[in-house]
Amino acid sequence: MASAAEQLAANLNFSAFAKAEDLKKRIWFTLGALLVYRLGTYIPMPGINPDAFAQAFQQQSGGVLGMFNMFAGGAVERMAIFALGIMPYISASIIMQLMTSVVPTLEQLKKEGEQGRKVINQYTRYGTVLLATVQAYGIAVGLESGSGIVADPGWFFRVSAVITLVGGTMFLMWLGEQITARGIGNGISLIIFAGIVAGLPSAISGTLELGRTGALSTGIILAIIVLAIVVIGVIVFFERAQRRLLIQYPKRQVGNRMFQGDTSHLPLKLNTAGVIPPIFASSLLLLPATVAGFSDTSTLPTWAASILAALGHGQPIYMLLYAAMIAFFAFFYTAIVFNPKDTADQLKKHSGFIPGYRPGERTAEYIDYVLTRITVVGAIYLVIVCLLPEFLISATGVPFYLGGTSLLIVVSVTLDTVAQVQGHLIAHQYEGLIKKSKLRGGKRGR
């Protein structure tokens, strides 16, 4: 039998949405914040020659810069004030998650609840400033080395570039936190989502233009559309897939009353690592191509040039390493974000247990056993989803925006946002039912 929440979710309609004033305010706030973000991606950084930079960027668009440009919504190719995007904050968050697993002090802070999380978030902000400063300074020096990109090279330009880019990243971090608190969905994820979606129209028009000029046949374009639909369907299925472990709670006595034991489920996501594995794998594999692009390849030794050629986008070795790195980071990041021992301790603390397994160490071993096996399936899913579009890109030359990583991010964020909208609508309907029952009770009392 469906639960009350599922029945309410099935009854959600446009009339319920029209009555949810708080939800509409949150949606309008989210849209307004994302509009501010998009406007910022068109404000150029001072002291840059746009034409010279655009020419230099075209030569490096196939490396890491192309991927960062996708995540930054085109701000990198325009060298806008948001060129660094939100990636320094994401990197700082990942580093902090790693440190909470190896540094006892941070691990203890993580267990202290809300107050500990506030301290860790503050450390993450400091880390964001540090990473953004280093990256901004590197960008400033790199721009000065380009021919005619910087109008007036020197320390004044470097300092102003660092202040501008770091300020842009910190503003985006603040904007993401505001969206999370006052809007709908995860603000950081929505900012990345908006950047990717903003580039989809040009990517689609570019693909259609290739079809118009005859560079791509109609059959290939139809195959691209069918593949995109299939990949989206696979992502939706696997991102919603869970392995639910049965949790039982024993009978308990409160005063003179005996309460029956309760049951619940511990949901384990099939893809606990999310989109982190393909992002990390892409960044590491595209790094050699980007470094080579900024150097004189004619001076490289023969063996180095051969390695660079083998690591080119779409090459067999590139594909194999890409798949291996995705699988590795799927297990590595899952081990970082989910600790079976902590989960088992929390269950034991609240008198919960998994039937057939003793609370404590045996429960932790069983959770780890199940998590490892579903992560194998999750890693295979990530590899297939990310490699299928890569084969298509290497074979047909369709735009980078149609890659598996971008589709994975767009679909995952969409699912999360829709789930939060439904949650607000369900809460609104519950509040309406409670008010009606109170009114009826008041009338009966009269």
pLDDT tens, residue by residue, 156-175: 989 999 999 999 999 999 99
Count the Cβ atoms, other than its own, within 10 Å of residue 306.
Answer: 11
Quote the CA–CA distance of 252 and 260 in Å, as a whole number: 7
Q: Are 285 and 321 in contact (CB under 8 A)?
A: yes
Quote the CA–CA distance of 337 and 357 in Å, as a whole number: 23
pLDDT given for residue 324 in this prediction: 92
Lowest mean pLDDT among 89-93, 184-188, 297-301, 384-388: 297-301
One DSSP character per residue, 356-389 reads TS-TTHHHHHHHHHHHHHHHHHHHHHHHHHHHHH
Whether this model's pTM surpasses 0.85? no
Reported confidence tier of residue 295, pLDDT bands at 50, 70, 90: low
CA 415 from centroid of its chain's CA atoms = 12
Lowest mean pLDDT among 6-15, 276-285, 402-411: 6-15
Give the residue-averaged pLDDT of 170-184. 91
Give the residue-averaged pLDDT of 268-280. 85
Q: Are 354 and 251 in contact (CB under 8 A)?
A: no
Reported confidence tier of residue 44, pLDDT bands at 50, 70, 90: confident
Give the residue-averaged pLDDT of 145-157. 82
Quote the CA–CA distance of 195 and 401 in Å, as a whole number: 11
Q: Give the pairing of strands 263-269 and 242-248.
A: antiparallel
Amino acid identity for residue 187 in this structure: G
pLDDT given for residue 408 in this prediction: 85
33 or 62: which leads in pLDDT: 33
Reported confidence tier of residue 354, pLDDT bands at 50, 70, 90: confident
Quote the CA–CA distance of 224 and 208 in Å, as a whole number: 11
How buried is 26 (Cβ within 10 angstroms: 0-12 exposed, 13-18 middle, 19+ buried)?
A: buried
Q: Are 398 and 224 in contact (CB under 8 A)?
A: yes
pLDDT given for residue 206 in this prediction: 77
63 has pLDDT over 80: no
How far apart, in Å, are the Cα atoms of 322 and each of 12, 26, 80, 274, 427? 42, 39, 30, 16, 43
Lowest mean pLDDT among 47-51, 99-103, 109-113, 175-179: 109-113
Amino acid identity for residue 429 in this structure: Q
Quote the CA–CA distance of 151 and 53 in Å, as a whole number: 11
CA 282 from centroid of its chain's CA atoms = 14
Where b means 16+ CB within 10 Å and e means fewer, 36-52 reads ebbebbeeebebbbeeb
Domains observed in the chain: 17-197 (1.10.3370.10), 217-397 (1.10.3370.10)
What percent of the chain clears pLDDT 90, i.e. is strictly above it? 13
Give the residue-averaged pLDDT of 99-112. 80
3 has pLDDT over 50: no
Q: Are 286 and 63 in contact (CB under 8 A)?
A: yes
Quote the CA–CA distance of 286 and 384 in Å, as a whole number: 19
Q: Is 154 left (phi over 0), alpha (psi -120 to 50) or beta?
A: left
Q: Are 161 and 143 in contact (CB under 8 A)?
A: yes
Partners of 257 in beta bridges: 254
Reported confidence tier of residue 120, pLDDT bands at 50, 70, 90: confident
Arithmetic mean of pLDDT over the chain: 79
Quote the CA–CA distance of 18 and 165 in Å, as a whole number: 40
The strand ranges marked E within 252-366 are 252-254, 257-259, 263-269
pLDDT given for residue 10 in this prediction: 45
299 has pLDDT over 80: no
What's the sign of the alpha-carbon dihedral 240, 241, 245, 251?
Answer: positive
pLDDT given for residue 19 in this prediction: 67
pLDDT given for residue 292 in this prediction: 58
Token pair for 434: 């409670």
3-state secondary structure of 141: helix
294 has pLDDT over 60: no
Quote the CA–CA distance of 214 and 61 in Å, as a whole number: 24
Where b means 16+ CB within 10 Å and e means fewer, 155-184 reads eebbeebbebbbebbbebbebbeebbeebb
311 or 276: which leads in pLDDT: 276
What percent of the chain clears pLDDT 70, i.e. is strictly above it? 79
Whole-number CA gyration radius for the chain: 25
